[in-house]
Amino acid sequence: MNRAALLWRVASFAVAAGFVALWQLIASLKLVSPVFLPGPDRAWAALVRGFSSGDLWSKLAGTLEHMAYGWLAASIAGIAIGAIIGSSRRMRTYVAPSLEFLRPLPVSAIIPVAIAMLGLTQAMALFVIAFGAIWPIMLATIHGFAAVEPRLYEVARSLQMSRLAVIFKIALPSASPDILAGMRLSLTVALILSVVCEILAGLDGLGHWVLLSARAFRSADLFAGVILLGLTGYVTSVAMSLAEHRLLAWQAARR
């Protein structure tokens, strides 16, 4: 088992290395103009330069901040609203159709509305990110709350548990695998929307960095930013998986 996992890890690194090699090959042979496609060597150099000159750090911090605030706001609101809707059958039947209408609405459609209302501000970014990231969390929470084993509610009733105790001791833990999965999906959404908002509103962040680099035809800097965005997505998602693993240790016992 452990051996197989190690082999998979090695294989996935090999694939990644293969892609980088291919990229280097295409760039070195100048199959695509260097103006548009720098090789990994130049992108790496730009990355190092960006960090040592100090600018990239603040851009990265900006993006992380937008992402984190939006995601946290989405998580808190999504879990709270999802819990209210999910724990009542009547709410589910009344509200679910409206949700089905709102959910497939692309977030990009509300960006103009948000800009009109809030201007090109941090508040607008926070609103857009939170609005986009709330759906996976809220829908997962509704599902998780609706799927609580009814028998456990009967246990709670015969223990005369308070409503609050039922939510925190029965419903939330029971729904936690769904909620955490929703939060993981939202993490990606929050990153994408952070970049979009930075580009649109010129807020300090990697999105802005990428935009400026592209405008100035600094393709190496552009790629450095894109690589950093990819890494951000990867690292946050790995961190989330680790947190999930810890919080859901009881599920590992079941499997």
Partner 1 sequence: MASAAKRLEAVYGTATPQIAFDGVTLVLGGKTIIENLSLGVRPGEFLCIVGASGCGKTTALRLAAGLYQPTSGKVNFDGQPMREPRREIAIVFQDYGKALLPWRTAAGNVSLALEAGGMPSAERPARIEELLRTVGLPGHAGKYPSEMSGGMQQRLQIARCLAQEPKTLLMDEPFGALDAMTRQGLQDEVLSLVAASGATVIFVTHDLDEAIYLGDRVIGLLPHPGRIGIELSVNLPRPRDQLSTREHPEFLRLRRQLFDFIKATEQ
Residue 171 CB, nearest approach to partner 1 (Å): 11
Using CB under 8 A as the binding rule, the residues of this chain from 153 to 172 that contact partner 1 are: 154-155, 157-161, 165, 169-170
Residue 163 CB, nearest approach to partner 1 (Å): 13
| List 24, 122, 174, 188, residue binding partner 1 (CB under 8 A) | 174
Size of the site for partner 1 (CB under 8 A): 20
Residue 180 CB, nearest approach to partner 1 (Å): 12
Of 3 and 151, which has the nearer Cβ to partner 1?
A: 151
Residue 191 CB, nearest approach to partner 1 (Å): 30
Using CB under 8 A as the binding rule, the residues of this chain from 77 to 116 that contact partner 1 are: none
* Distance linking the first and last C-alpha atoms of the chain: 14
Alpha helices in the chain (DSSP H): 2-28, 40-53, 55-86, 89-102, 111-118, 122-146, 150-158, 163-165, 172-201, 206-215, 219-247, 249-254
| List 3, 215, 246, 254, residue binding partner 1 (CB under 8 A) | 254
Report how far residue 243's alpha carbon sits from residue 255's, in angstroms, rounded to the nearest whole number.
18
* Own/partner long-range contacts of 213-222 (Cβ < 8 Å, ≥24 apart): 217/35, 218/46, 219/34, 219/35, 219/36, 219/37, 219/38, 220/38, 220/42, 220/43, 220/45, 220/46, 221/46, 221/50
Determine if 188 is a binding residue for partner 1 (CB under 8 A): no
Residue 157 CB, nearest approach to partner 1 (Å): 5
Q: Near partner 1 by CB under 8 A, which window of 38-46, 100-108, 173-181, 193-201? A: 173-181
Of 173 and 233, which has the nearer Cβ to partner 1?
A: 173
Number of Cβ within a 10 Å radius of residue 40: 17
Residue 231 CB, nearest approach to partner 1 (Å): 33
For residue 3 the two structure tokens come to 């051996």
Instruction: Give the DSSP H or E segment for 217.
Output: none
Residue 66 CB, nearest approach to partner 1 (Å): 33
Determine if 176 is a binding residue for partner 1 (CB under 8 A): yes
Report how far residue 167's alpha carbon sits from residue 145's, in angstroms, rounded to the nearest whole number.
9
Determine if 30 is a binding residue for partner 1 (CB under 8 A): no
Determine if 244 is a binding residue for partner 1 (CB under 8 A): no
Q: Under a CB-based contact definition with an 8 Å cutoff, are residues 140 and 79 in contact?
A: no
The residues binding partner 1 (CB under 8 A) are: 149, 151-152, 154-155, 157-161, 165, 169-170, 173-174, 176, 250-251, 253-254
